[in-house]
């Protein structure tokens, strides 16, 4: 349940509203295409896990196949993804709270940043209590999200089957035909939204990682990964399809959940408020998982020398409070954005988070590609469950991810400014490497039980980024 719910978050519940308004029904195709490549990435992840089961993230495979530099870079970019996702979630929570001003006027006088800060403080406090509290919260949050989506799918399908009008409009495929067709605003307008849809699939790679922790990964991995395509078809593509059949795409707006918009249009008072509470819960759930995940990521990186030692600290009950606290400090930047540019805060951090997603998925596919090449050379054997069509599907996925990166840059002004943020990220990564490379080399030598020339599988030590002294 936690794994299913973890893959359903703010990107769908909040992000789909603005995307529908911009792209119209063509968003269905964008979700389907992105879902297909998400599935290919998961197949690659599954192949890696069955090659060498790991309870950690894909960063361990980056270390195995490409060395410590790759692991360092992949780890920090993955952390960037989740840290920015936390900012997206506090922003979404604040926007959801703004919705309630139609029911209670005093809410309109509360600045958006106050709600963002409140969400962060509440979830951070609960997150720091214990691992058990985190698990209990995530189970119930995930259950609420899944039940809410199932309820929408059932209600929406019944409206379409029986032709029940919504907000005075007929339902069904005529809604699409009467409002500009499948691509009402042009192909380019639809294509540039791919990065936002990619964010909706963020976290789906955790399904493979979670399955890797099971006692029988050989049985669990194929079932878990292959079932994802069905979940994608139902929860993502199915939900967006229903939304386009129930209301004209112009009825949906950025800053409001499209699911709330639908339930607010069926003529039953208060149902939209209930749904808004549900999507608010979804945002808090994603924030809860994001803080805990980044805490674990930074804890692991600190143990490997890639992050400050403070991030390795844990409470007696097993909560990685050092890493969680560092991520919470970064999330305060999101609170500031909600104070300075409240109308753009969501899109700004969503684009930056997308950079981390592209880097993470790209790393997974590159590791699978390296495994494929080594198998071709006869040095390893690929597991029976593998990425079908490799290496062509591997190259196709990498080309798709590269195309999304280009599209982010073309999405002026927010996407273009996001690309400029790399001028800060890249020097920070390079500077950080030179600060911690000696510690990384020392820990790596202790872990492997030989000198500090740490090399990945099949790569000379010098190519891995270390010379004979353990530095670069």
What is the mean predicted confidence (pLDDT) over 172-197?
90
pLDDT band at residue 470 using 50, 70 and 90 as cut-offs? very low
What is the mean predicted confidence (pLDDT) over 421-446?
92
Do 418 and 351 meet the contact criterion of CB atoms below 8 Å apart? Answer: yes
What is the mean predicted confidence (pLDDT) over 438-443?
92
Find, among 326, 366, 333, the residue nearest to 352 by Cα. 333
Mean pLDDT lowest among 35-49, 68-82, 131-145, 418-432: 131-145
pLDDT in tens, 95-135: 999 999 888 888 888 999 999 999 999 999 988 887 777 67
Burial class (CB in 10 A: 0-12, 13-18, 19+), 223: exposed
Nearest-10 Cα torsion for 376, 378, 383, 386? -10
Burial class (CB in 10 A: 0-12, 13-18, 19+), 7: buried
pLDDT band at residue 421 using 50, 70 and 90 as cut-offs? confident
196: helix, strand or coil: helix
pLDDT in tens, 266-321: 988 889 999 999 999 888 888 888 888 888 889 989 999 999 999 999 988 888 89
Give 166's strand partners: 169
Ordered DSSP codes for 288-335: HHHHHHHHHHHHHHHHTTSS-GGGG---TTS--HHHHHHHHHHHHHHH
pLDDT band at residue 208 using 50, 70 and 90 as cut-offs? low
- What global pTM score does this model have? 0.87
∠ CA 200-212-50, rounded to 5° = 110
State yes or no: pLDDT of 202 exceeds 60.
yes
Burial class (CB in 10 A: 0-12, 13-18, 19+), 93: buried
Which pLDDT value is given to residue 252? Answer: 96
Mean pLDDT lowest among 60-69, 198-207, 238-247, 310-319: 198-207
pLDDT in tens, 315-341: 888 888 999 999 999 999 889 988 888
CATH of region 2-448: 1.20.1740.10
Which pLDDT value is given to residue 366? Answer: 97
Q: Kindly list the domain boundaries of the chain, sorted by start residue.
A: 2-448
The mean of the pLDDT values for the chain is: 86
Which pLDDT value is given to residue 17? Answer: 92
What is the mean predicted confidence (pLDDT) over 10-23?
90
Do 290 and 80 meet the contact criterion of CB atoms below 8 Å apart? Answer: no
Quote the CA–CA distance of 443 and 216 in Å, as a whole number. Answer: 30
């Amino acid at each position: 349940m936690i794994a299913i719910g973890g893959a359903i978050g703010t990107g769908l519940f909040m992000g789909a509203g603005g995307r529908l308004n911009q792209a119209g029904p063509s968003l269905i195709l964008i979700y389907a295409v992105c879902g297909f490549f998400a599935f290919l990435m998961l197949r690659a992840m599954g192949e890696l896990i069955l090659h060498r089961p790991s309870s950690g993230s894909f960063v361990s495979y980056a270390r195995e196949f490409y060395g410590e530099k790759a692991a360092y870079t992949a780890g920090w970019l993955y952390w960037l993804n989740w840290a920015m996702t936390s900012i997206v979630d506090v922003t979404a929570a604040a926007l959801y709270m703004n919705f309630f001003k139609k029911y209670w006027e005093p809410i309109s006088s509360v600045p958006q940043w106050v709600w963002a800060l409140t969400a962060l403080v509440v979830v951070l406090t609960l997150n720091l209590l214990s691992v058990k509290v985190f698990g209990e919260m995530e189970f119930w949050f995930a259950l609420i999200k899944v039940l809410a989506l199932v309820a929408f799918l059932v209600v929406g399908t019944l409206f379409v089957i029986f032709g029940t009008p919504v907000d005075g409009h007929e339902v069904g495929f005529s809604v699409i035909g009467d409002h500009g067709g499948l691509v009402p605003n042009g192909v380019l307008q639809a294509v540039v939204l791919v990065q936002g849809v990619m964010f909706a699939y963020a976290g789906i790679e955790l399904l493979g990682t979670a399955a890797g922790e099971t006692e029988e990964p050989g049985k669990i991995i194929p079932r878990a990964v292959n079932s994802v395509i069905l979940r994608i078809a139902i929860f993502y593509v199915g939900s967006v399809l229903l939304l386009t059949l129930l209301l004209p795409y112009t009825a949906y707006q950025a800053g409001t959940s499209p699911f709330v918009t639908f339930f607010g249009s069926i003529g039953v008072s208060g149902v939209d408020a209930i749904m808004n509470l549900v999507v608010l819960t979804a945002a808090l759930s994603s924030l809860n998982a994001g803080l805990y995940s980044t805490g674990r990521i930074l804890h692991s990186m600190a143990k490997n020398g890639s992050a400050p030692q403070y991030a390795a600290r844990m409470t007696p009950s097993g909560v990685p409070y050092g890493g969680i606290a560092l991520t919470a400090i970064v999330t305060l930047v999101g609170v500031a954005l909600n104070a300075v540019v409240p109308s753009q805060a969501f899109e700004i951090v969503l684009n930056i988070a997308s950079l981390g997603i592209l880097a993470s998925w790209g790393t997974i596919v590159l590791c699978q590609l390296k495994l494929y090449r080594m198998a071709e050379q006869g040095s390893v054997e690929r597991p029976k469950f593998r990425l079908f069509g490799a290496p062509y599907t591997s190259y196709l996925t990498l080309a798709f991810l590269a195309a999304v990166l280009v599209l982010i840059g073309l999405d002026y002004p927010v996407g273009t400014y996001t690309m400029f943020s790399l001028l800060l990220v890249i020097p920070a990564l390079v500077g950080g490497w030179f600060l911690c490379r000696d510690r990384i080399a020392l820990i790596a030598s202790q872990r492997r039980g030989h000198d500090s020339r740490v090399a990945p599988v099949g790569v000379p030590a010098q190519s891995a980024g270390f010379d004979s002294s353990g530095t670069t």
